Amino acid sequence: MARKETFRSALIFGGAGFIGTNWAARLLETTEAKVQIFDNLSRQGSRHNLAYLQKLAGRSGRLQITIGDVRDREMVSRSVRLATEIYNFAAQVAVTTSIEDPRLDFEVNTGGTFNILESVRSSGNHPFILFTSTNKVYGDFAGESVRIEGRRYVSSASAGSNETQPLDFHSPYGCSKGAADQYVHDYGRIFNLPTAVLRMSCIAGQRQFGNEDQGWVAHFLYSALLGNPITIFGTGLQVRDVLSIQDLLEAFEAIRRNTDQTRGQIYNVGGGARNAVSLLELLDLIEHVTGKRPEYRLEPGRPGDQAIYITDHSKITRHTGWQPKISVTETLERINAFFRSNRALFAQTRVQEFETSAGVIADLPRTA
């Protein structure tokens, strides 16, 4: 259990999303912190997540909900004033969307992050700031030699990628997130803010409403259970390391608990070599966990896709003692359990129908 403090006010941008909801729930359950959710409710499942958090908070008065967009400088500025810690999970998250609409991608990911940083600087406060970046800032590793072994690609860099890997971006999404993570890093240095940047691999777990562009682990499992065919872009031999959401929350706590060591740092955070799996291997695991195998078809690979990405998390392990504990199979079991406990949420196929299904609040409070 996290240590209790005199006053903690946690502001979570993107707080109704997958990571934000799980983090808000952890704070409500294990600390006395006040929690402010800032979200534009654009993501599938966000209204359901808010209903879940409101139920969890009950009448404690510790949960505040602001329906807003990080592109709105005034709303962001008003929201940061009393925060003692800020978590920026608000983002445009799909490489495909960034290619279709690079301006939107830039305005949300880079511009939204800049709005948060400038609002903090103008406030005169020095809250702890944690920003979730992505492994896509490292590009597609085009120069890396890979070979096929069984149902996966392998390379000589078996230990994974560490923070010394050169930035390469290779997509508008990589550019916007890379620019944002450098802004966070440099604002921490120039304006003496206690910041931390996490370049994350594939995060998966309960309360994740995934699709083929983001949250692909959950998307594959749900598709198997619903009997929906999936599309795999590329050969399916691509390898990723999967990190359970519970392990990610432990990383957040470890970083904040050790700010003397972690402030101003950038960390690669992921499941590591022990939790690396190819897309085709994941289908095997899903069949093992659920008894159902997803039907799939192969399509040409997409721009910027990495043949292999495995996180070398040794830096954060050295600085905080954190390391992943939950296996890919156990992560799939938890997603499967979430699906079976919330079948009604997956009965609808349209996002609008999904967001207005049973148990979802019709009118959410708007605060400024």
Provide the annotated active-site residues.
173
Q: From the CB of residue 67, how many other CB atoms can be counted at a distance below 10 Å?
A: 17
Mapping DSSP to helix (H, G, I), strand (E, B) and coil, where does residue 11 land? Answer: strand
Dist CA 235 CA 239 (whole Å): 11
Identify whether the C-beta of residue 131 lies closer than 8 Å to the C-beta of residue 181: yes
Six-digit token string for 33: 């912190």
Burial 309-331 (b: 16+ CB within 10 A, else e): bbbbbebbbebbebbbebebeeb
CA distances from 280 to 91, 156, 209, 245, 297 (A): 28, 21, 21, 22, 11
Identify whether the C-beta of residue 96 lies closer than 8 Å to the C-beta of residue 172: no
What is the helix (H) or strand (E) element at residue 309, kind and residue range?
strand 308-309
Contacts of 169 (CB under 8 A, 6+ apart): 136, 137, 139, 175, 178
Identify whether the C-beta of residue 298 lies closer than 8 Å to the C-beta of residue 236: yes
Identify whether the C-beta of residue 342 lies closer than 8 Å to the C-beta of residue 360: no
**Burial group, residue 168, by CB count within 10 angstroms (0-12, 13-18, 19+):** middle
Identify whether the C-beta of residue 88 lies closer than 8 Å to the C-beta of residue 252: no
Six-digit token string for 37: 């959710």
Contacts of 147 (CB under 8 A, 6+ apart): 153, 154, 155
What is the helix (H) or strand (E) element at residue 330, kind and residue range?
helix 328-341
Mapping DSSP to helix (H, G, I), strand (E, B) and coil, where does residue 296 land? Answer: strand
